[in-house]
Structure 1
């Protein structure tokens, strides 16, 4: 298969996902549709390395991750990040729900080893799935090694549609409050802040003609380099994921005026980066063969179902205590099933389908996007790796 044929097929799949999401007003998310189509493709005529053939290999995907996560950090000010402590608590509560339910009910239905392997991938990241898969292989548990990978690539099928439903309900509630006048001040404050930060403060005196797309890319890459270098420097003391630091450094760079808000969009690179990263994520579905799914379908379905129930119960309790709406609290906890960039895409799809008014869209994004992004990072990027590091020693 030629590169351009592979790329054309994959882009057709992404576009089909967009069409379905638009036609159904995000009730069927694009990522869900794309995942189904990728599975069908891998089970029929796709070469196993179709994503690499199209030009998206792990090195390119890593570059996109650095760019996108640094860019994401510019959406959050230090004050706003501090204000998201409730999202952090809710995300951790959802993780606790997964652990409690699977170690009790799940262990009674199956066995403790299966649940030990299942929990870290369910909490999120691909790193956690690989750690548990390698650990199971080393322990001679071949089926569980496959189980760790498959549960990671399949769990989004539960997370995508449920999250979309929760966010749509939350958007409806927020729009109702907004129309009653309760959220008007927040929107005005956000608009003022965005206008004030249109040009990065450190380069305010630089003529606009020199603030080219390449200069924006350079500054994003430089912040990513700082995050990577800091991660390497800290490695002898403590392991900190460089991508987590990209988020933190993106927040700092935006706050001090080194980066403007959403520089990747302003450099006309955001859509391309999202395309590449999503293709790389869907590439993980090539491991989920029909035979593999048949062997582990029962523990797979039951584990994901129990995890969702655990997240709902514990996030509902945390949301009630913290006075966060049940819909948003559940959506935040569900980010553990997919993380970034799906949390970003799902939120934007719901916002775009909920209203055509630009001010209302900004209001919805200001209320829903920051907690969704923070929740995803707490679970997928940070907590899942920590849990995997502990659980793999129990096999």
Structure 2
């Protein structure tokens, strides 16, 4: 069946919206990407044409533009001051990523083969960007089932990460609540003062443009310019363009050339993320029931190996850096979902344990910054860098 551009666009958005609504109704316990993936699979096996994603205009070159702009934008989300203040969290999160790679590239390689673990590991360490990079690389090499595996890894990893994280966070919330009820109120005041210092405005080398000139055109122009620079510099220094976008985005924001949270200010973030989310499901058009059966064992096997690797590293480094074992493990598990699930899971755990607003505030001030920084470290930074490196290994 053939659809017009707007008809295909509408059907794609119906699927994505359905996933989002179900995720909201279940408080993110059922991931939106899982629901959307199932609906797309049913659609591809029944009434949807295989190329409906391209028919809806969610294909190159707009996807490539979206990738460049979003990755530069991710750099503008970083607050280096906060990352430095949470250096222990950053180290634990990176150790978790290291644990994933060690387990998948040793035991995983023996069990499932080199190409399988190389394609599946970056999506396991992060989010949509890593999944797209690996699935595209696999597709370019004609490895259809491997490309589907990379997509499915992104879709399924949250089902393991959510319940384990919820258990760890609830346990940590109970521990902190006990500290608060046994004289932790003064410590809370000290934390509040430190937090106010971290959120004070940062001085930039380049002063910000007047508000009236911070229009979508101007902001997108600057993001596009930085992305173009990355595309020119990348081949020269032998660094993946998308990894360089992230690095240059951080630098551009720190010196004041780029606005913080650029795409949000340009009112463009939502649309560009929609482009990426639609594109990632395009690989599922090649997935047959037989292929899904074939990749099921490596899919869940690699996830289990990755979680074991994260747990071992979180135990070792968490103890050395003064984290409770449950908080350290929760920080590493952010690799399986990132934001906003890290925010939602933390709040849900705290609400289920604390009784007063003062108790909630105390526990949130301790747990939430760690979870957010960990999620940013794993999904936004580490997974993109790892994917840029692993693309060359496939």
Normalising by structure 2, what TM-score? 0.77
Is 1:20 aligned with 2:19?
Answer: no
Residue 58 of structure 1: SS of its match in structure 2? coil
Q: Which residue is 1:158 aligned to?
A: 156
Q: Which residue is 2:5 aligned to?
A: 3
CA distance in 2: counterparts of 1:190 and 1:128, whole angstroms: 38
Q: Which stretch has the larger CA shift, 304-313 or 353-362?
A: 353-362
Contact 1:231 1:242 (C-alpha < 8 Å) held by counterparts: yes
Distance 1:183 1:23, change over 3 A: farther
CA distance in 1: counterparts of 2:196 and 2:265, whole angstroms: 17
Shift of 1:30: 1.5
Counterpart selection for 1:232 from 232, 235, 238: 235
1:141-290 aligned at under 5 Å gives the runs: 145-169=143-167, 172=170, 173=172, 177=176, 194=199, 196-197=201-202, 202-204=206-208, 206-234=209-237, 239-290=238-289
CA distance in 2: counterparts of 1:27 and 1:213, whole angstroms: 35
Contact 2:16 2:36 (C-alpha < 8 Å) held by counterparts: yes
CA distance in 2: counterparts of 1:15 and 1:297, whole angstroms: 26
CA distance in 2: counterparts of 1:175 and 1:309, whole angstroms: 24
Residue 61 of structure 2: SS of its match in structure 1? helix
CA distance in 1: counterparts of 2:286 and 2:325, whole angstroms: 35
Shift of 1:278: 0.9
Q: Which residue is 1:109 aligned to?
A: none
Distance 1:332 1:123, change over 3 A: farther
Contact 2:71 2:245 (C-alpha < 8 Å) held by counterparts: yes
Aligned residues: 365
CA distance in 1: counterparts of 2:292 and 2:92, whole angstroms: 37
Q: Which residue is 1:33 aligned to?
A: 35
CA distance in 2: counterparts of 1:18 and 1:361, whole angstroms: 26
Q: Which residue is 2:126 aligned to?
A: none
Distance 1:17 1:253, change over 3 A: same
Shift of 1:229: 2.2
Shift of 1:279: 0.8
Distance 1:200 1:308, change over 3 A: same
Shift of 1:98: 2.0
Q: Which residue is 2:46 aligned to?
A: 44
Counterpart selection for 1:91 from 67, 89, 97: 97
Distance 1:189 1:72, change over 3 A: farther
Gaps of 5+ in 1: 107-113, 138-144
Normalising by structure 1, what TM-score? 0.77
Q: Which residue is 1:343 aligned to?
A: 338
CA distance in 1: counterparts of 2:135 and 2:309, whole angstroms: 20
Q: Which stretch has the larger CA shift, 372-381 or 242-251?
A: 372-381
Distance 1:75 1:66, change over 3 A: same
Shift of 1:309: 3.6
After superposition, give the CA deviation of every residue in 1:187-220 in whole Å (9 maximum; x if it has no partner): 66556655625x976344x432222222122222
After superposition, give the CA deviation of every residue in 1:365-395 in whole Å (9 maximum; x if it has no partner): 64323322321356533334534644x5xxx
Shift of 1:240: 0.8
Distance 1:186 1:268, change over 3 A: farther
Is 1:375 aligned with 2:378?
Answer: yes
RMSD: 3.5
After superposition, give the CA deviation of every residue in 1:200-247 in whole Å (9 maximum; x if it has no partner): 76344x43222222212222222222222221321xxxx211211222
CA distance in 1: counterparts of 2:272 and 2:321, whole angstroms: 36
After superposition, give the CA deviation of every residue in 1:278-309 in whole Å (9 maximum; x if it has no partner): 11112222222223223444444444444444
Contact 2:240 2:389 (C-alpha < 8 Å) held by counterparts: no
Shift of 1:159: 0.8
Shift of 1:120: 0.5
Residue 277 of structure 1: SS of its match in structure 2? helix
Distance 1:300 1:211, change over 3 A: closer
